[in-house]
């Protein structure tokens, strides 16, 4: 990593979280002082081959005791979500319990969010994609309890919509909840880190693949062009191509 990339990354005000469920990968990112926290979800955990949810969650929280870690409920009814949320909250002092903004039947989880937040459970409300959802979640949160509001900006962009205006509006929409932080979820490229920072978003969570590409920040583009040409040439030579 160059001095210029180090300086630019160090100057970021946005918090960098690492998203994943591979314990070795998480521990590798934990050694990086730029990483302020971690997120995961049931889909990532399934892909990582995890079969015992609680054992993995407890092991992860024990291995990373001093940075926030988001672990998600997976029940689909609000009563079941609450039981799971309260259990997960006991696993470690640094856990954020992830609650989806709705269940699979499109029922808003606001009443559950209100109960848990009022009881001091620090939440990460997830799968948000509209400003109305941001506002409803912010209103449901208790003003004295820290929380994360996760907007899936990358998925919004996948639909052809620029998420930056929404994220700027979301920052303003949660201003009456000073202990709540807005999170840019599902980024697709390093550029999204700087876009998120420009909107005033507090946190971005990204896969290690994206976070590791931060080392390219500020790289000379003429040099990068030459490296790309060399890569194509070397691969063609290694493949033994001829015309």
Catalytically annotated residue among 47, 87, 98, 179: 98
What does residue 51 show for φ and ψ, rounded to 5 degrees? -115, -25
Per-residue pLDDT tens for 78-103?
999 999 999 999 999 999 999 999 99
Q: Stretch 187-208: mean pLDDT, rounded?
A: 97
The reported pLDDT for the residue numbered 1 is: 60
How many CB atoms neighbour CB 117 within 10 A?
25
Is residue 47 flagged as an active site residue?
no
The reported pLDDT for the residue numbered 54 is: 97
CATH architecture of 3-239: Alpha-Beta Barrel (3.20)
Q: How far is CA 157 from CA 15, 112, 201, in A?
A: 21, 29, 16
How many CB atoms neighbour CB 33 within 10 A?
7
Q: Stretch 199-203: mean pLDDT, rounded?
A: 98
Tokens representing 67? 């940075």
DSSP string over the chain: --HHHHHHHHT--SEEEEE---HHHHHHHHT-TTEEEEE--HHHHHHTT---HHHHHHHHHHHSTTS-EEEE---SSHHHHHHHHHHHHTS-TTEEEEEESB-TT--B-HHHHHHHHHTT--EEEEEE-SHHHHHHHHHHS-TTS-EEEEE-HHHHHHTT--SHHHHHHHHHHTTT-TTEEEEE-S--STHHHHHHHHHT-SEEEE-HHHHHGGGGTT--HHHHHHHHHHHHHHHHHHHT---
Residues linked to residue 126 through DSSP beta bridges, in sequence order: 100
Check pLDDT > 90 for residue 5: no
The reported pLDDT for the residue numbered 35 is: 97
Per-residue pLDDT tens for 8-29?
888 899 999 999 999 999 999 9
Would you list the domain boundaries of the chain?
3-239
The reported pLDDT for the residue numbered 186 is: 97
Q: Stretch 135-144: mean pLDDT, rounded?
A: 98
The reported pLDDT for the residue numbered 86 is: 98
Check pLDDT > 80 for residue 4: no
- pTM for the complete prediction? 0.94
Cα separation, 161 vs 171, whole angstroms: 18
Q: What is the mean pLDDT of the chain?
A: 96
* 3-17, 40-54, 58-72: the lowest-pLDDT one: 3-17
**Number of residues that this document lists for the chain:** 243
Q: What is the distance of C-alpha 218 from the center of its chain?
A: 24
The reported pLDDT for the residue numbered 2 is: 65
Check pLDDT > 70 for residue 211: yes
Torsion of Cα atoms, 18 then 153 then 84 then 21, to 10°: -30
Check pLDDT > 70 for residue 40: yes
């Amino acid at each position: 990593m160059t001095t210029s990339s180090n300086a630019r990354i160090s100057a970021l005000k946005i918090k960098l979280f690492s998203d994943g469920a591979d314990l070795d990968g998480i521990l590798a990112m934990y050694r990086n002082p730029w990483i302020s926290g971690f997120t995961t979800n049931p889909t990532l955990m399934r892909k990582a081959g995890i079969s015992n949810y609680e054992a993995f969650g407890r092991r992860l929280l024990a291995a990373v005791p001093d940075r926030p870690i988001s672990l998600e409920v997976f029940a689909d009814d609000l009563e079941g979500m609450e039981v799971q949320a309260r259990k997960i909250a006991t696993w470690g002092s640094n856990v954020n319990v992830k609650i989806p903004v709705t269940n699979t039947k499109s029922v808003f989880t606001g009443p559950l969010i209100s109960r848990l937040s009022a009881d001091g459970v620090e939440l990460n409300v997830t799968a948000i994609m509209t400003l109305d959802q941001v506002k409803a979640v912010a209103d449901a949160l208790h003003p004295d309890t820290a929380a994360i509001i996760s907007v899936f900006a990358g998925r919004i962009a996948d639909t052809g919509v620029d998420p930056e205006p929404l994220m700027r509006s979301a920052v303003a929409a949660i201003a009456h909840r000073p202990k709540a932080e807005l999170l840019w979820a599902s980024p697709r490229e390093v550029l999204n880190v700087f876009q998120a920072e420009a909107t005033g978003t507090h946190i971005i969570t990204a896969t290690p693949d994206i976070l590791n590409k931060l080392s390219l920040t500020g790289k000379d583009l003429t040099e990068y062009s030459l490296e790309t040409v060399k890569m194509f040439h070397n691969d063609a030579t290694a493949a033994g191509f001829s015309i």
